[in-house]
Chains A and B, each alone.
Chain A
Amino acid sequence: MASAMTDRNPRAAEASGTYTYTSRPRAVPCQRRRYRDSLLQPADEPLNYGNIMYDRRVIRGNTYALPTGQVPGQPDPLELQRQQQARRRALARKRAQEQLRPRTPEPVEGRKHVDVQTELYLEEIADRIVEVDMECQTDAFLDRPPTPLFIPAKTGKDVATQILEGELFDFDLEVKPMLQVLVGKTIEQALLEVMEEEELANLRANQYAYEEIRNVELAEVQRLEEQERRHREEKERRKRQQWEIIHKHNETSQKISARAFAQRYLADLLPSVFDSLRNSGYFYDPIERDIEIGFLPWLMNQVEKTMEHSVVGRTVLDMLIREVVERRLNNYEKKEDTQPSMRSDDVYSGPDTMTDPSGYKFFQGQPSP
């Protein structure tokens, strides 16, 4: 191994100055523990050098036979032998079967059997075996790794859950904003309602205060009305009283003056009465009265009669004259018509007819028929 190390080293040293290890050859101790017990334990222990012949690491016997060796964990050599025998038997069986198997006949004289590919795609057949270089290098001696934890074998049922994208979330984190909104909204709503109620209570208190003021003012108004009414009635009463007084006063003075006047007026009532009576002739002298009533009308009547007579006589006379004159006139007209001869004197128009000097209207007014 040291040589391998030194073989590799020049290659490694070319790349970079890395780790190199050299040691001088020494005898290999036996029964050496494969792992150190603890990391801190120094390696300088009394090393027991053992017999190389009894060292398990040394392969004894012929190396060209390459026995498999007894690796721990493998079955014991008995089993191994059995397996080998089984293998030999299988081989023999196979050889026997191969002999029985029919083969292709031998080629004809001059010909040779050749293997030909009959597949669709030709395949290059080469004798070369694919070789791959593999290297294996065990690690340097490791420290004993720590004992792995004892995990007991799994028992029970396996249950799996598929978690889809976005299903995993932290509830406390996610719920905070939602809770904030919920609680905030609820509190806001509650506050609104409380404020509404407060406002309503305030309004109602204001209403009551207003009602009280209204009532007080109403009572005041009524009181003032009553007062006013009383005053007014009192005034009316007093005024009426005064009116009555004045009225009476006037009446009385009028009565007094009327009385005085009446008295004075009637003072000369009696003489004036008598005077007027006398003037209207209620006190009359009987003889005078008698003369006036009896005699004088009679007298006047007689006078009237006499005058009427004379008037009538004059009227008759007038009529007579008129008639005569008319007749005469007619006669003259007739005569003139026939003969405007001499006229005879009318008997009727004599010199002793007198015309009435009084000139009676009716005579003049009479139209000639």
Chain B
Amino acid sequence: MAHARISMYMPPDIDPTKAAIAYGCRALPKLNEELRSETLLTRQKALVALCDLMHDPEYVYEAINIGCLESLKALLMDDDNLVRIKTTEVLYIMATHNIGRTGFLQHGVIIALSFLLNDFQTVCRENLHQAYKHLAQLPEGARGIVNSGLIPSLVQKLQVEEEHIQEIILDTLAPCLQEDATEALKSQAVPCFKEKLLSGNPQIRSKAARALIAISIPLEGKNQVWENEVIPILVDLLSDPEDEVQANAAGALMHATVTTEGCNAKGRSWRFQGVSESYKLLPNLSSFS
């Protein structure tokens, strides 16, 4: 047999930025200890290694059992940018698994993450919002986000953040608003969404329309939608070139007009126009229903 060591150099896929992962069941406890170490480099390398491991749901389960979430919560407050970015990335990857989501809810990670809403690093904020978005897919997660009072700050952030983060925030808000829309209505979400309906990005338009669907389910939402004169914009969006935007706008209109006030003369004209526009849409709808 040839020698095992063929060349003087190490194999090319050993990454110097990753900590060495121990074998078998020692992998995660060792990484957990390294996360608490004093040395910055150790922490960073451990975080990079953890990012790789968290794609496997069994490791996520084990990590939550041994209390990695506590160390990660502590690392969220770290001074170093890379540490924070990688921590949010690990949390985001964990949130894509159901076990991770339930773990978040049990260990109160939502509040810990909310301290980073005003972070300077864009990547950090983006990971944070991605984590929230995946958490909101779960009904308990959406309730958790609503109960921790994050909706007003999220609506606020919607106005100041960048576009791709705005999309993520809108995706987060839609399921949360389906759970409970009162907080959002109190924090002037409807004018905010109305603004987003006029944005140039079709993704943002469609997601804003979806959020409007959710917010106009309760009666208060419908009233606010009428008051803020969102209906004309929605009717315009029915003739938007994007399919998603049309569909969501039609949904929002449907919810907003299911109210007794729709029979009032105040809204009647818009309702009729909306109905006529949706009749125009019928051939399109039947093509992809």
Contact = CB atoms under 8 A, between A and B. Distances in A.
Contacts of A167: 2
B258 A215 contact: no
B228 interface: no
Interface string A16-47: 00000000000000000000000000000000
Contacts of A229: 260
A220 to B, nearest CB: 8
A230 B1 CA distance: 89
B251 A222 contact: no
Contact of A218 (B1, B255, B259, B260): B255
A26 to B, nearest CB: 71
Nearest to A193: B55
A215 B2 contact: no
Contacts, number: 29
A222 B259 CA distance: 8
A87 interface: no
Interface in B234-255: 247, 251, 254-255
A316 interface: no
Contacts of B247: 212
Interface in B1-34: 1-2
Interface in B183-240: 213, 217
Interface residues of B, number: 12
Nearest to B255: A219
Nearest to A165: B1
A262 B251 CA distance: 70
A166 interface: yes
Contact of B1 (A166, A215, A216): A166
B251 A212 contact: yes
A215 B137 CA distance: 16
A166 B1 CA distance: 5
Contact of B251 (A166, A215, A226, A230): A215
Nearest to A204: B137
A226 B1 contact: no
A215 B260 contact: no
A259 interface: no
B58 to A, nearest CB: 15
A207 B178 CA distance: 14
Given A212-B251, A215-B213, A226 B258 contact: yes
A283 interface: no
B258 A169 contact: no
B258 A222 contact: yes
A169, A216, A226, A230 interface centre (most CB from chain B within 10 Å): A226
Interface string A216-237: 1011001100100110000000
A229 to B, nearest CB: 7
B2 A166 contact: yes
A216 B254 contact: yes
B259 A169 contact: no
A218 B217 contact: yes
A205 to B, nearest CB: 12
A319 B217 CA distance: 114
Interface in A165-204: 166-167, 169
Contacts of A218: 217, 255
Given A215-B213, A229-B260, A230-B260, A222 B255 contact: yes
A219 B258 CA distance: 7
Nearest to A224: B258
B176 to A, nearest CB: 14
Contacts of B254: 215-216, 219
B255 A215 contact: yes
A216 B251 CA distance: 8
A77 B259 CA distance: 141
Contacts of A230: 260
A207 B259 CA distance: 27
Nearest to A226: B260
B159 to A, nearest CB: 25
Contacts of B137: 207
Nearest to B244: A208
Contacts of B251: 212, 215-216, 219
A226 B259 contact: yes
Nearest to B254: A219
9 contacts: A166-B1, A207-B137, A215-B255, A219-B251, A219-B254, A219-B255, A223-B258, A226-B260, A230-B260
Return the 5 tightest CB-CB contacts between A and B, nearest first.
A222-B258, A223-B258, A219-B254, A219-B258, A166-B1
Given A167-B2, A215-B255, 19 more contacts: A166-B1, A169-B2, A207-B137, A212-B251, A215-B213, A215-B251, A215-B254, A216-B251, A216-B254, A218-B217, A219-B251, A219-B254, A219-B255, A219-B258, A222-B217, A223-B258, A226-B258, A226-B259, A229-B260
